[in-house]
Amino acid sequence: MAFSLSTESFAAAKSAVLIDSENGRILFEYNKDEKLPMASTTKIMTALIVLEEENIDEYFSVGKSDIAVEGSSMGLLPGDMVNLRILACGMLLASGNDAANAAAIRISGSVENFVRLMNKRAEEMGLFNTSFETPSGLDGKNHFSTAYDMAVLAKNAMENPLFAEICGSESLRLEYGNPPYKRILSNHNRLLKTLEGATGIKTGFTKKSGRCLVSSAEREGVSLICVTLCCPDDWNYHTALYNEYFGKLESVPLENLAKEKLVPVCGGAEKTVKAVPKKVSASLFEGEAERIEVVISAEPFVFAPVEKGKILGKALFYLDGELVAETPLLAEKTVEKVPESEGFWDNIKDNFQF
């Protein structure tokens, strides 16, 4: 049975959004700013904070109170030896509430202190419709987010290579316990097996929140993030959205749209150096490339010597006033410095028109 992308169909989900993971452009949305419980997709923030810590491979013992939390578990027992990397894996694959609690207490001393850290990071990311109350995603009066905020959080998280590697793994072999022994955790995200190009990210469910899903996928240079909150048929919704939009979008190279820019070189063997844009692309619908506007920002001058590849500015690419890509402008070649005895100061005067 074909899956419809009509507004009526999406009414079955309370909230949904699809964004370009490169620039955050909203491609599809349905009630994207409605505040709703987001269940274990919360662990995207928890795991990201955990993986940004130092010494994540240092083993420590978890206490009984550290893992005294209801719901899904990675199987921790009091006295088990673990490390923060393993706990992040336990959150993202097995959705372990025990892992989230243990990591929170290890990092901040208490769940409450860690939650304050989560909310601080949310504010820094501009997630102004999000409030965390638990590191695991268990329901709480002040625990909510929106589909759009969760998409922005996911975009930030996937920029961390270790986070992306873990959440994109169908299973991982880990070593923990008392004493540690090898075991395998499987990922709850079945899109990793069923969706072409799936790369992550996190599932979630409570009776209050319903089914929640934050996913990501990449095909032929186009990278997207999809979020649904309270969506009973989330696997099919995500699959349908990806198939629809991957079929409409194309990764388009943009660097050739930037006009040539010559930057004056003071004291150089040549008076100017060409600033060329580094390769860059954007995911565009048919006909959008013709509407791209380019804004060049470059140094007014540079002093020799100038090494090939030196950043001399940047090129910004706008679609209908919205920034869709940017790339640095690089020195096309090396320009050597002229010795003072060979006209260095005359060169300076020429560039400054003394």
Which residues are catalytically annotated? 40, 43, 95
Q: How far apart are CA 104 and CA 203, in angstroms?
A: 20
Q: Which residue, among 270, 265, 269, has the nearest Cα to 351 in the 3D structure?
A: 265
Q: How far apart are CA 264 and CA 270, in angstroms?
A: 9
3-state secondary structure of 112: helix
Token pair 């030196």 in the structure block, residue: 310
* Interacting residues of 310 by C-beta distance below 8 A, sequence separation 6+: 302, 330, 331
Q: How far apart are CA 198 and CA 166, in angstroms?
A: 13
Q: Which residue, among 47, 27, 9, 15, has the nearest Cα to 213 in the 3D structure?
A: 15
Q: Which residue, among 38, 48, 50, has the nearest Cα to 140 in the 3D structure?
A: 38
Assess contact for 212 and 116: CB atoms under 8 A: no
| Radius of gyration of the chain, Cα coordinates, nearest whole angstrom | 25
3-state secondary structure of 165: helix
* Interacting residues of 276 by C-beta distance below 8 A, sequence separation 6+: 255, 260, 329, 330, 332
Assess contact for 76 and 67: CB atoms under 8 A: yes
Q: How far apart are CA 140 and CA 208, in angstroms?
A: 10
